[in-house]
């Protein structure tokens, strides 16, 4: 490893965006610690001098903290953290069990938060670093059947926006990525589905059917959502402003 090479820690690196990001970082000449529940050894075998594969379940926050400490001990630092591990989930709010909801929050919120907290001390000392939070179109717009999934992404985005304001003056950048539909395993074997309640077939049923056919609609969906929010604010603006009171 040279001084010019950046050190990346990428979760969910075995497939999809995580794998693509790892390959792009390697192409740029950097070093990547590629983490997944099953260590992506094929990536490391293809780039033995630039990729190290490790097994990491990000929902085990203690293991996540140990992984960062180990990477820093061996490589000296983490320049870029990419919190990419995640999965899709479909189910009405009532259909979604406590276990399913908590599991999703552990994966999309608590795990990434633990990893960010673990890398921040080193980044603060160096006054440099980048944190990439892989969110989703679902971090801006919610649909029937995505209540649990969107709740986790909304939470991640709110936390990350505040984080960006806190660490920006320290030379640390935070990027929130909101993909729409791509050819990953999101709607394949990695997709979780809650047990169906027939009363929700009219609202959640179409979501279950369309999840593999939303390619290319993310930008229009977000813009439409923002327009609807703006219209609603304008409609209630007068009433909202009447709640103000004169200062003493």
Which residues are known catalytic residues?
135, 149, 153
Measure the CA–CA gap between 37 and 56, rounded to whole angstroms.
5
Q: How far is CA 87 from CA 48, 108, 176, in A?
A: 28, 8, 17
Give the length of the chain.
248
Residue 146's Cα: distance from chain center in Å? 15
Is-contact 133 175, C-beta < 8 A? yes
Sign of CA pseudo-dihedral 182, 183, 189, 195: positive
Write the DSSP symbol of residue 110: I
Closest of 222, 146, 157, 152 to residue 191, by C-alpha:
146
Measure the CA–CA gap between 145 and 150, rounded to whole angstroms.
9
Listed in sequence order, the DSSP H helices in the chain are 16-27, 41-46, 61-75, 98-105, 111-126, 147-167, 205-210, 218-241
Q: Residue 122 has which token pair?
A: 């080193």
Measure the CA–CA gap between 85 and 56, rounded to whole angstroms.
10
Spatial CB neighbours of 100, under 8 Å, sequence gap ≥ 6: 89, 91, 148, 192, 194
């Amino acid at each position: 490893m040279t001084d010019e090479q950046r050190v990346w820690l990428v979760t969910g690196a075995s497939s999809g965006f995580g794998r693509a990001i790892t390959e792009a970082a390697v192409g740029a000449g950097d070093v990547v610690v590629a983490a997944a529940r099953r260590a992506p050894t094929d990536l490391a075998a293809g780039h033995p001098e630039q990729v190290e594969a490790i097994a990491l379940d990000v929902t085990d926050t203690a293991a996540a903290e140990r992984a960062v400490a180990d990477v820093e001990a061996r490589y000296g630092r983490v320049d870029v953290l990419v919190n990419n591990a995640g999965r899709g989930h479909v189910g009405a709010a009532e259909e979604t069990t406590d276990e399913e909801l908590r599991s999703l929050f552990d994966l999309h919120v608590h795990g990434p938060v633990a990893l960010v907290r673990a890398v921040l001390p080193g980044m603060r000392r160096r006054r440099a670093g980048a944190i990439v939070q892989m969110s989703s179109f679902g971090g801006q717009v919610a649909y029937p059947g995505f209540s649990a999934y969107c709740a986790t992404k909304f939470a991640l985005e709110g936390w990350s926006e505040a984080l960006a304001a806190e660490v920006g003056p320290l030379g640390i950048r935070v990027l929130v990525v909101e993909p729409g539909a791509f050819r990953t395993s999101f709607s394949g074997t990695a997709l979780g589905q809650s047990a169906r309640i027939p009363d929700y077939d009219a609202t959640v049923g179409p979501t279950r059917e369309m999840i593999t056919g939303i390619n290319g609609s993310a930008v229009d969906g977000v813009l439409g959502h923002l327009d609807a929010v703006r219209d609603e604010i304008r409609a209630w603006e007068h009433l909202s402003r009447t709640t103000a009171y004169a200062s003493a």
